[in-house]
Structure 1
Amino acid sequence: MAPESLSALDALHSTPSRRYLAPDPIPDDVLWAVLDAAVRGPSGGNQQGWGWVVVTDPDVKRTVAGWYRENWERVYGSRRAQILGAGPGAGGLTPAGFRGAEHLAHHLEDAPVWVFPVLRDAAGSTNPRLGSSIYGAVQHLCLAARAHGIGTSLTTLYGGHEDELRELLGLPADALTMALVPMGYPARGRWAQPARLPVDQVVHFDRWGATRARVTGAP
């Protein structure tokens, strides 16, 4: 299937996290096209000190999914009633967002393809801006997937098992996974603009707290 023709702004405004993913396989040519778009993303100093580990092995998925659910329960699952009972505007996950994230946690293995973006010379780094050398390219991955009708989300909820994951994936000793991106054709939901705070509430001009009236008619 040919990719959907989208303007850059249309794609940027309609690529939410898709957490209900069907197990249907992603054709190899489509997967390669998405990955080829990802590596066109920005890289600090153009060093491209990255690797992209594509996982389809059920045994690897099963192991990582166990770590993921362990963390999910600790961070979110244990607060299920509290989150679902919170009213609108309470911040954090909405009830619908929580249910989607919960579904992903319980069905992570169903996503036919996982991608781990990996940075070299990153293990043990204390640089808080380390991800700037790869996260732009990760967004390229998500936007390219969107054009092909493939849903993605970006998560690090498998965290706390990096050494085991490095061994499981056969990564070099200096490498660090920067995220997990499950990919699959959406099983439910739609391509919609993610809900966010109004832009004029979070943008500052020259100094923090300095605002400027938004031009009428601006998109």
Structure 2
Amino acid sequence: MTLPLSPDELLSTTRSVRKRLDLDRPVPFELIRECIEVALQAPSGGNRQTWHWIVVTDEAKRAAIGEYYARSYGAYRSERASRPVQSGRVAAQARVASSSDHLAEVMGRVPVLTIAAIEAPELPEGNQAGLWGSLLPAAWSYALAARARGLGTAWTTLHLPYEHEVADLLGVPAHVRQGVLLPTAYFTGETFRPAPREGVDSVLHHDSW
């Protein structure tokens, strides 16, 4: 069963869920399979479909990934603290920082950790849009499919400084590169609403900049 969401509602209310991930409610593996089946309909360069999905539910492996994530997040948090805060976004950035801190603390306890990866014996030099453009739309489709099934996800790449260690932990071959980590769980509370964004006219360029 999926939630009765219109396409626009699904697209505008799929949020990064951090504090509201339900750490105690098991997620049926069949639901994750359904999300990946939807994701496999996404476009890929040349329709090659060289993506792979590593779904981690083993408690010890989730805990180990959580430790790598927390280690990487600690370095990121220190760097973030040195950045100037954008004018008018102090409260919003504080909320994001607080929820990010929480996710780093509990990552290893999230019921399902899904890693989207792609075959890439060598990363291309220069522009890598073609490579990652063949994976990331599918990963976002996974997040949308999860939202439609009452699950929350968070899009993060902060584990990637330890990509090789995570690959060793999970037996991922060297020619498969990880692109994004999607912690997945039921969410607490009611539902989600569209987030405040800059007006379209501040970012829309018609025919020229």
Common fold by TM > 0.5? yes
What CA distance in whole angstroms lies between the structure 2 residues aligned with 1:149 and 1:164? 32
What CA distance in whole angstroms lies between the structure 2 residues aligned with 1:189 and 1:122? 44
Alignment-derived partner of residue 183 in structure 1:
184
Please give the TM-score of this superposition, normalised by the length of structure 2.
0.88
**2:65 is the alignment partner of 1:61:** no
Alignment-derived partner of residue 196 in structure 1:
197
1:78 to partner: Cα distance? 6.5
1:28 to partner: Cα distance? 2.5
Please give the TM-score of this superposition, normalised by the length of structure 1.
0.85
Identity %: 30
Q: Which digits, 9 at most, give the CA deviation of each residue in 1:49-86, with x for residues without a partner?
A: 01100011122222221121112111125756x78x95
Alignment-derived partner of residue 39 in structure 1:
40
- Letter of the structure 2 residue corresponding to residue 108 of structure 1: M
1:40 to partner: Cα distance? 1.0
SS at match of 2:172: coil
Alignment-derived partner of residue 158 in structure 1:
159
**2:99 is the alignment partner of 1:100:** yes
Q: Which digits, 9 at most, give the CA deviation of each residue in 1:118-163, with x for residues without a partner?
A: 1002543334212100111111101110111100011001121122
Larger Cα-atom Rg: 1
- Letter of the structure 2 residue corresponding to residue 197 of structure 1: E
Q: Which digits, 9 at most, give the CA deviation of each residue in 1:161-208, with x for residues without a partner?
A: 122222222112211000100000113574121222212111111222
1:89 to partner: Cα distance? 2.1
What CA distance in whole angstroms lies between the structure 1 residues aligned with 2:148 and 2:68? 31
My pick for the range that moved more, 109-118 or 55-64, is 55-64
Alignment-derived partner of residue 9 in structure 1:
8
1:92 to partner: Cα distance? 10
What CA distance in whole angstroms lies between the structure 2 residues aligned with 1:109 and 1:69? 9
Alignment-derived partner of residue 22 in structure 2:
22
What CA distance in whole angstroms lies between the structure 2 residues aligned with 1:41 and 1:176? 18
| Mapped contact 1:150–1:185 kept (Cα < 8 A) | yes
- The runs of at least 4 aligned residues of structure 1 exceeding 4 Å deviation read 77-80, 85-88
SS at match of 2:13: coil
Q: Identify unmatched segments of 5+ residues in structure 2.
A: none
Q: Identify unmatched segments of 5+ residues in structure 1.
A: 209-219
SS at match of 2:166: helix
